[in-house]
Amino acid sequence: MEKATEQSSFNFGSSGLPKTYVKGFHDDDAVRRMKYSALGNTGIEVSALGFGASPFDGGYNQTVTDEDCTRSLRAALTSGINYIDTAPWYGRSEEVLGKALKGIPREAYYIATKVGRYKTDITKMFDFSAEKILSGFDESLRKLGLDYVDVIQVHDLEFAPNPEKILSEALPAVRAIQESGRARFIGITGYPVKELKNIYLRSTVKIDSILSYCHLCLNDSSLLEHVPFMEEKGVALINASPLSMGLLTPRGPPTWHPAPDELREAAAEAVLYCQKQGVDLPKLAMSFTLSQESIPVTLVGMSSVSEVERNLSVLHQELTAKEKEVQEYIIKNIFGPVDMKSWENREVAKYWKKLKATLGEGK
């Protein structure tokens, strides 16, 4: 079995190409055009745009085929995107991704998966036990068809019964996986950044990356407040969901979206304002997030070639003067007055209430 080895430094050299470049596989011009940044102190450089594979399960009410997914992944990787993110929680994502990765050079990408969150069944949704983490990760590798991943992440740790469960059991379990050579780096993910930082500071296991989502959007840019901390500690900061899980789209958020009513109403107002101005809201949202140079990589869910091409276009092209004006108006005048720009603790409280009701507790 090929084992993971840590890199301590990176150097593009005279070629101007990243270590993930593979001659004959990549579009040379596209790779040279891609923006790459250091992923914390891991020694690897990642593309500014990361490939989120959660839509491979057909989420957000989309219908996708395995062939769509394979084509989208190849389009992304050959264009210089070199960071892929998946998880068991994303349904068939790992399985479909494993099929799509066949025939693609392993050195052409970095890949991250997760442990701790699994099923839609409320009683089986989370399991941060060492036994489940170890067996679940074995299953992830099998589905992906890989000997190792680059990053193994404890998924949505704020849903654990208490921080000690993460600190004393989950993180030591992923450390054991790392020591076995089946993962190179360790990460944690979740929505509340303060809680992620608390776990990072208390952990005796070295944490290499922190992933949070929906905190670097038109409606909430609070993730930037944590950049100095991450840089000081040398921990990689990974961002996800620049469209705020569908909130910043004409279609609007899915029914399960945890955004409070005030924020939903503001988002709907932003959609109407953009339509009147003849401007695309998702484009403004994507551009805002991808223009933040202090964030090494932003994960965006993609499952079609057109989505890949559209996102690359936003990354490489500046907004027009009109688009910038509309973007600034939305941030200042539509989302600015909103008191609750996020939904801290709402999902966690809802989860525990539903779980206790399902188990018949608290009666």
What sign has the CA pseudo-torsion 73, 303, 246, 354?
negative
Tokens for 123? Answer: 């009683």
Q: Do residues 171 and 189 lie in contact, with contact meaning Cβ atoms separated by under 8 Å?
A: no
For residues 276 and 289, give the distance between their C-alpha atoms in angstroms, rounded to a whole number.
Answer: 23
Q: What's the sign of the alpha-carbon dihedral 302, 304, 305, 311?
A: negative
* Contact criterion met (CB below 8 Å) for 253 and 281: no
Dump strand ranges (E) for 227-348.
236-240, 297-301
75 contacts 50 by C-beta, under 8 angstroms:
no
d(CA 67, CA 167): 40
The terminus-to-terminus CA distance of the chain in angstroms comes to 52
Strands 45-47 and 36-38: antiparallel
Determine which one of 21, 90, 109, 148 is catalytic: 90
Q: Which amino acid is at 155?
A: H
Listed in sequence order, the residues at least 6 apart from 138 whose beta carbon sits closer than 8 Å to its beta carbon are none
Residue 36 falls in the annotated catalytic set: no
Neighbours of 269 (CB within 10 A): 15
Chain centroid to CA 233: how far? 21
User: Helices (H) and strands (E) in the chain — how many of each?
Assistant: 13, 10
Strands 49-52 and 110-115: unpaired
Q: Is 360 exposed, middle or buried (0-12, 13-18, 19+ CB in 10 A)?
A: exposed
Catalytic residue annotation: 90
